[in-house]
Structure 1
C-alpha cells in the first residue's frame, strides 16, 4: 500500500512540475507581447491574438491576465535581479565598478525598454489593485538588495562607508533609471545623457570617508 501511495505521490509531483514549467515557458514567451500592450490594454484574448498561443491554452494555465502578468514579471525579475552580480564580482577598483555598472545599466535600458516599462506600469497599478501587490513588494525588496550589493562593493573598493541606506540607494538609482527610460522611449538622447551624469553623481556621494 505504501509503495502505491509513494508512486502516486511521485506522479502527482511530476505533473505539478510539468504544469509549473509550462506556466514559466508561456509567461516568458508572452512577455514581449505583454510589454508592448501594457497593463490596461492586455487581456488573455489580446495576448493570444498577438502570440503563437491560443486563448484556450493561456486560459488553461493562467486564471486571468493578472495571473499571467505577475508570473511573467516574476520570471523576468528572477534573471534581472542578478544582472549586476558579475560586475560586482569582477571589479577590482571603484572606478571600474562604477563604469561597468553604468554600461550594464544603460545597455539594459536600451535593449529591454518595453519590458522595463511593463514593470513600472505594473508597480503603479498595484497602488489600485491589491491582487498582485505582494508580488510587487517582493520584487521591490529583491531589487533593493541587488542595488545594495553594488553600493556596498563600491564603498569597499573606494575605502569609504555607505553614506546612504539601502532604501535610499535603491530609490535614487531607480529614479535615475526611470527618468532615463522615459527619455529612451521618448527618443530624447539628451535625457539619457543627463541620466548618465546623474548616475556618476550618485556614485560621487554614495560613500563617506
Structure 2
C-alpha cells in the first residue's frame, strides 16, 4: 500500500537534490565573477557568461540578482566558518588557541583574499539594501560564535561583550586583507604575529 508514495517521495528527493546541486554549481561560478568585478559591477548577464548558463536558466533557479548573491555569500562564508571551527576543534589552552586561530586566519587571507573582498562588499551593501541584512546578520552571528568558542577553548571568560572582541578582530582582518589586495602584502610570519599578538591580548 505504501510502495507508491515511497517511490514518489524518493523521486521528489532526488529531484530536489539535483536542483540543489545545480544551484550550487551556478553559485560557485557566480562567485568567480563577483570576486573579479564586485557586487555593483556584476550583472546577471556577467554571471550567466561565467557559468555558461542562459539568463533564463538563472531566473529559473533564482528570482533575481539579490537572491543569487545571497546564496553565494552563504556558501563561501559557511566554508570560512567551518574552517575556523575545524582549526579550534582539536585544541585547548590559551597557547594552542592563539596558534591555531592565528594560522587559520592567515591562511584564509592568503588563499581567499578576493572572496573576503566580496564579503566586505556585500556587508557594506547591507547598509543600503535590506535584502542583504538577514544573511549578513546570520553570518556575523556565526563568526561571533567562533570568537566565543576561542574563549571557551582557551578556558577564559571574555572581558565585556564577545561581539566587541569580534569587531576588533574583524577590523584587523580587514586591514591585513586590504594590504594584500592593494599590493602591500605582509610576509606570512608577520601576519601571524599580528593576529597572535591580538588574540593573546584578548585571551
TM-score, structure 1 normalization: 0.84
Mapping 1:119-130, distance limit 5 Å: 119-130=119-130
Conserved 8 A contact 1:102-1:196: yes
Consecutive unaligned residues in structure 1, runs of 5 or more: none
Go from structure 1 to structure 2 and tell me whether the alpha carbon gap of 1:194 and 1:175 turns closer, same or farther (over 3 Å shift).
farther
Conserved 8 A contact 1:144-1:167: yes
Work out the CA distance in 2 between the residues paired with 1:25 and 1:190.
34
**Deviation readout 1:6-63 (Å, 9 max, x if unpaired):** 5544433432332222112221232122111111011110112234333332222111
Shift of 1:145: 0.7
Q: What does residue 114 of structure 1 align with?
A: 114
Conserved 8 A contact 1:162-1:206: yes
Mapping 1:11-90, distance limit 5 Å: 11-90=11-90
Conserved 8 A contact 2:39-2:118: yes
Shift of 1:181: 0.8
Q: How many corresponding residue pairs?
A: 203
Consecutive unaligned residues in structure 2, runs of 5 or more: none
Conserved 8 A contact 1:148-1:166: yes
Stretch deviating more after TM superposition (81-90 or 105-114): 81-90
Work out the CA distance in 1 between the residues paired with 2:33 and 2:25.
14
Go from structure 1 to structure 2 and tell me whether the alpha carbon gap of 1:121 and 1:69 turns closer, same or farther (over 3 Å shift).
same
Conserved 8 A contact 1:147-1:169: yes
Q: What does residue 205 of structure 1 align with?
A: 201
Conserved 8 A contact 2:29-2:47: no
Q: 2:181 aligns with which of 159, 162, 185?
A: 185
Work out the CA distance in 2 between the residues paired with 1:89 and 1:130.
34
Q: 2:172 aligns with which of 176, 181, 200?
A: 176
TM-score, structure 2 normalization: 0.86
Please tell me the root mean square deviation across aligned C-alpha atoms, in Å.
2.6
Go from structure 1 to structure 2 and tell me whether the alpha carbon gap of 1:90 and 1:16 turns closer, same or farther (over 3 Å shift).
closer
